Structure 1
Amino acid sequence: MDFFDSIMLPFRWLVSVIMVGFHDGLTTIGMPPADGWTWTLAIIGLVLVIRAALIPVYLNQVKAQRRMRLLQPDLKKLQDKYKGKTDQLSRQAMAQEQMDLYKKHGTNPFSACLPLLIQTPFFFALFQVLSGISTAKDQGQGLGAMSHEQVRQFDASSIFGAPLSATLLHGGGGSGQVAVNILSIVMILAMTASQFITQKQILARNTPEDATASPFMRQQRMMLYALPLVFGVGGINFPIGVLIYWTTTNLWTMVQHFFVNDRQSPTQPPLATAE
């Protein structure tokens, strides 16, 4: 086991434990254990648990984004002050004044990325679990908290004729491949579109007019197009189950953004509940 696998091991176990918990609960109320919709709902349940746990982090992200945008005019003045000064002392002084600005406003450039960073290991863990289903089944082994029987059930499960562990590049073959191709493309489009729309809403909301030309806003606009592109291209190698996970989490973000961000006026201070 390499270093990366050692780091990911507890996340794989946690992901599989949550999925198995939802799967067992759904089968208890009468859903078929090997049915694709049972496992799909288990994946959606995984999203609900992770995103509910991240609500406090998200509220702090709202505050951080608001503060970062409101301090952009001050940052621009600071950049104009040191424009053309490339000596070491000036660069150090600018960096120090920049840090003082961040401290004064109670934010930093990286706080807005925290929810995405926290979700990343769970995303990779789910990817590893679903990608290892076929191998675990062939070797007669379980996978994380999933028993061999549950691995076999997941491997046999499908929705709309597309196996949940199949990818656009490695589908089910024959008619199954057609179903995988169609569902993968639909899910990739839904995943990238929901991410783009949400990021565009976040970018447009509560942005001072004099901050639109700042380096921070240019970086945010670049991410607006870069992130959907990265996930869109990478999606061709994501199992159907991973596409379901990321599309669901993007839809959660859209709804969460509506209820939190869009219910505040542009001049309203950050949510007190995020303290």
Structure 2
Amino acid sequence: MDTILWPLKVAVAWVMVYIHKFLVLVGMHDGSGAAWVLSIVGLTIFVRILIMPLFVRQIRASRGMQLMQPELQALQAKYKGKKDPASKQRQQEEMMALYRKHGTNPFASCFPILIQMPIFFALFRVLANLEKVAEGVYPGHISIGPLTAELAGDVQASTVFGAHLSDSFMNTDDMTTKVVTVIMIIAMSATQWYTMAQLSMKNMPESSKNSDNPMIRSQRVMMTVMPVFFAFTGVQFQIGVLIYWVTSNLWTMGQQFYTINRMPAPGSEAEKKFRARENAKRARKGMPSLEEEERAKAEAEGTAPTGGQRAQPVRKNRQKKGAGRPSGAEGRSGSRPDDGDGAKTGGAGDANDSDNATTGGGGSSRRPGGLTDEEIARRRYERRARERKRAAARRKAQNKKRRG
């Protein structure tokens, strides 16, 4: 294994040594001590910055998996009970098409961990061979890259709460080292569990959290299995490796916290809190809420659901007879053009402005009064903005009066 991992071991040693040199340059103690502990923390941060694009891809894939859950469940219901090879093949093909449609795959969330595993094992082997490097008996090499015998001795002598970086629970009889190892294993398992729970508990739509959802079932299994796996294997890890893994988990927690708060998944609990925060900020500035802005945009684009009475189908001969003749509220009440602000003119109000189009000929895109949907939506938006601004000014004046 050392032969296979040698290039990575040299890279790990290079990063640790030069981070240590930088820490000494800014005033930390040279030789054994905290600078070598922080060099492992620096190695972790360096690796996480390098794999940042994979984290972004993981978040996008996770969001795509969440958004496709209703379609995936419908597909599973479609082929439920069909065990013949042809049905299974069609189900697999439709499922892969669904993954391509949403730009995701079920393995994207594993990429950051898989990429880190070789680095993790390389650090494990560097720390395991410190004694041989320090004594000059490392087979085939006198150093690991820039990690010379003298520096290896300094790393080996460095401690965390009295436990040496190269010691593990299984290779020492020192009780202090065993206690520190157990505490760090608990911290590693707890942070691993929480990083997985953040995605499934806070950043997933409520509709996807039922037990029939295979994604939820797999995530719950992973939330249980991964921390237990690390708890049992952690007794073999050196203190330095445990520092690396705890730091990596804390970094992941911070990344996820930022992402969930700034870019939550649609329909999730995190999105509700995000909208509440944004709407409160907008209200203080006299701006429309997110919902109002989205509704105005949808109305302007003609994609908003329309209210009022459903238009009944008309035969072709009756369409020809009615061509060019006003219909609906305009024809019955003789409504006059309005200014788009919703003022009632001749019996046609705000609802008629937005929902009752003239149907002469082939169905014009203009409303009564000659205004387009976009113009009506823009004027309504401007009117509401003015009302919010006046309301904010009144609240400000009232607050000032109360303070005075």
TM-score normalised by length of structure 1: 0.90
Q: Which amino acid aligns with 1:94?
A: Q
Q: Deviations along 1:223-266, whole A, 9 cap, x unmatched?
A: 11111111111111100000111001111111111111222344
Residue aligning to 1:273: none
Query: 2-side partners of 1:68 and 1:112: how far apart?
Result: 10
Q: Contact 2:170–2:235 (CA<8 Å) still a contact in 1?
A: yes
- What is the CA distance between 1:137 and its match in structure 2? 2.4
The aligned counterpart of 1:182 is 179
Percent identity, aligned pairs only, is 40
Q: Which amino acid aligns with 2:93?
A: Q
1:101-116 equivalent positions in 2, closer than 5 A: 101-116=98-113
Counterpart position of 2:335: none
Q: Which structure 2 residues correspond to residues 26-37 of structure 1 after superposition, within 5 A?
A: 26-37=23-34
Q: Does 2:171 correspond to 1:170?
A: yes
Contact persistence 2:44–2:244 (CA under 8 A): yes
Q: Which residue of 2 aligns with 1:223?
A: 222
Q: Counterparts of 1:28-177 in structure 2 under 5 Å? A: 28-140=25-137, 141-171=142-172, 173=173, 177=174
Once the two structures are TM-superposed, the CA of residue 268 in structure 1 deviates from its matched residue by 7.9
Q: Are the counterparts in 1 of residues 156 and 164 from structure 2 also a CA contact under 8 Å? A: yes
Secondary structure (helix, strand or coil) at the match of 2:261 reads coil
Q: C-alpha distance in 2, partners of 1:157/1:101?
A: 52
Q: Computing the radius of gyration over CA atoms, which structure comes out larger, 1 or 2? A: 2
Find out whether 1:262 has 2:261 as its counterpart: yes
8 Å CA contact retained: 1:165, 1:241: yes
What is the aligned partner in structure 1 of residue 233 from structure 2? 234
Q: Deviations over 1:46-68 (max 9, x none)?
A: 01111112222211211110110
Residues 88-108 of structure 1: per-residue CA shift (max 9 Å, x gap):
111111110000000011111
**Distance verdict in 2 for CA 1:103–1:85, change over 3 Å:** same
CA deviation vs aligned residue, 1:163-221 (integer Å, no higher than 9, x gap): 110001112x4xxx122011111111111111111211111133223322211221111
* Structure 1 gap segments, 5+ residues each: 270-275
For residues 256 and 209 of structure 1, what CA distance do their matches in structure 2 show? 23
Amino acid of the residue matched to residue 236 of structure 1?
A: V
Runs of 5+ consecutive residues of structure 2 not aligned to the other structure = 269-404
Question: What is the rounded CA distance, in whole Å, between the counterparts of 1:95 and 1:78 in structure 2?
Answer: 10
- Check conservation: 1:133, 1:143, Cα contact below 8 A: no
Return the letter of the residue paired with 2:154: Q
Task: Work out whether residues 36 and 164 of structure 1, in 8 Å CA contact, stay in contact via their aligned partners in 2.
Answer: no
Q: Distance in 1 between matches of 2:202 and 2:99?
A: 21
List structure 1 runs of 4+ shifted beyond 6 angstroms: none
The two structures have a TM-score, normalised by structure 2, of 0.62
Q: 2: distance between equivalents of 1:179 and 1:31?
A: 25
Q: C-alpha separation between the residues in 2 aligned to 1:73 and 1:229?
A: 31
CA contact (8 A) 2:29 2:35 kept: yes
Specify the code of the residue in structure 2 equivalent to 1:221: R
Where does residue 190 of structure 2 map in the other structure?
Answer: 193
Aligned counterpart, 1:272? none
Distance in 2 (alpha carbons) for counterparts of 1:44 and 1:209: 37
Instruction: Give 2:134's aligned amino acid.
Output: K
> Using a 3 Å threshold, how does the CA distance of structure 1 residues 78 and 235 change in structure 2: closer, same or farther?
same
Structure 1 residues 68-111: Cα deviation after superposition (integer angstroms, max 9, x where no partner)? 01111211111111112111111111110000000011111111
Q: Distance in 1 between matches of 2:261 and 2:208?
A: 20
Question: 2 CA distance for matches of 1:137 and 1:38?
Answer: 18
Higher relative contact order at CA 8 Å, sep ≥6: structure 1 or structure 2? Answer: 1
RMSD after superposition:
1.9
Indicate conservation of the 8 Å contact 1:47/1:248, yes or no: yes
Matched residue type, 2:124: F
Does the CA contact (< 8 Å) of 1:33 and 1:153 recur in 2? no
Cα separation, 2, equivalents of 1:265 and 1:201: 11
Q: CA deviation at 1:6?
A: 4.2
Alignment partner, residue 17 of structure 2: 20
